[in-house]
Chains A and B, each alone.
Chain A
Amino acid sequence: MVRIIGIEKCIGGLAIALCTTACSLNPSPEPMRQIQIQQNWAIKPGDRIADHFVVAGLGDISIRLGGDTAYAPFAGRVQPNSSECVLFSSPDVPAYLFRLCGLSKPNLGEVQAGEAIGSGDYLYFATLRKQPDGTWTIVEPAKDILERILKSP
């Protein structure tokens, strides 16, 4: 019995050590990125109306993904913007940000060109162009970028 209890103590110590190691190995979560959009619409993505989330707003293109995947159009970074939206930025496309809403469990952090960002039933997509005052304005996206996002590489 004395020996069994000794083993229990060893397992307990090992458990705590392993837990500490496992917790410290987890990467830090990608920080939320908030941006100021020049067009100050009254109803925006992330708002709630009658206990329902607003997923897209004026300026978003709605695409029926039907469970398909949205891919990174260039090498870049995916950052959370709200509970429903992520922002994609790339050093290859200065002055622009892409906002993708409606994807479930998005792949946050650094991504390669063509790597999956996430999938969902619908994608709500906006292109944002940087303004001299540091705000971002919603512009009409080109088909070329949408094709890169929707076509499997």
Chain B
Amino acid sequence: MSDLESDPPILKVLLLLGLVLVGFALMVDVRRVSWGNFMGNSLKSSRPTETCQGEIRGDIVLSREKLAAFLTISERDPKSRVQEILPQSYCQLPTIEVRAGVVSEREVYPLAFDPHTWLIVLYEGEEYAGYQFRFQAPE
């Protein structure tokens, strides 16, 4: 008796289902790769990333203690409160206008314990607006 005759019908159905599934999976994968290539070739950035302008103070880094003290400051507090803890920055990013009529200044502080991570602090006039961490790719 051959395998065709001995195999139960459920096995044949499973085999067919497997083929259908692989066909679907390959279609999904091809679509993903094609879209990725399209995005990579046609729509990737040619705009430069934000970099320091003006003076760079290479010796300025932010210790764990100062970072912990800084994180206790609330948004909208006076800029002077932040500057009591962080008197000098590593550098400044170019000024930008995010909100109509308000110029934003951005100060950069590399972390002493992780120099590839920058703390970026944004001020609007004499007001502290907020912070973010930026992860730099090692050169």
Set of chain A residues within 8 Å of B49, measured between Cβ atoms: 75, 92, 112-113
Compute how far the CA of A26 lies from the CA of B36 in the bound complex, rounded to whole angstroms: 12
Query: In the complex, what residue of chain B is closest to A153 when comparing beta carbons?
Result: B47
B18 near A16: Cβ-Cβ < 8 Å: yes
Q: Return chain B residues, CB-CB under 8 Å to A153.
A: 45-47
Could you tell me the dominant secondary structure of chain B's interface residues? mixed
Is the CB–CB distance between B120 and A94 below 8 Å?
A: yes
Do B75 and A132 touch (CB < 8 A)? Answer: yes
Interface size grouping (class) on chain B: 35 or more
Query: Is the beta-carbon distance between A6 and B75 smaller than 8 angstroms?
Result: no
Instruction: List, in ascending order, chain A residues with CB within 8 A of B43's CB.
Output: 69, 107, 115-116
A63 within 8 A of B: no
31-57 of chain B: CB within 8 A of chain A: 32, 39, 43-50
Q: B122 interface residue, CB < 8 Å from A?
A: yes
**Which residues of B sit under 8 angstroms from A19, Cβ to Cβ?**
18, 21-22, 24-25
For chain A, which range describes its interface: under 10, 10 to 19, 20 to 34, or 35 or more residues?
Answer: 35 or more
A120 to chain B, nearest CB (A): 15
Q: Does A50 contact B (CB under 8 A)?
A: no
Indicate if the CB atoms of A15 and B134 lie closer than 8 Å.
Answer: no
A140 proximity list for chain B (CB < 8 A) = 99-101
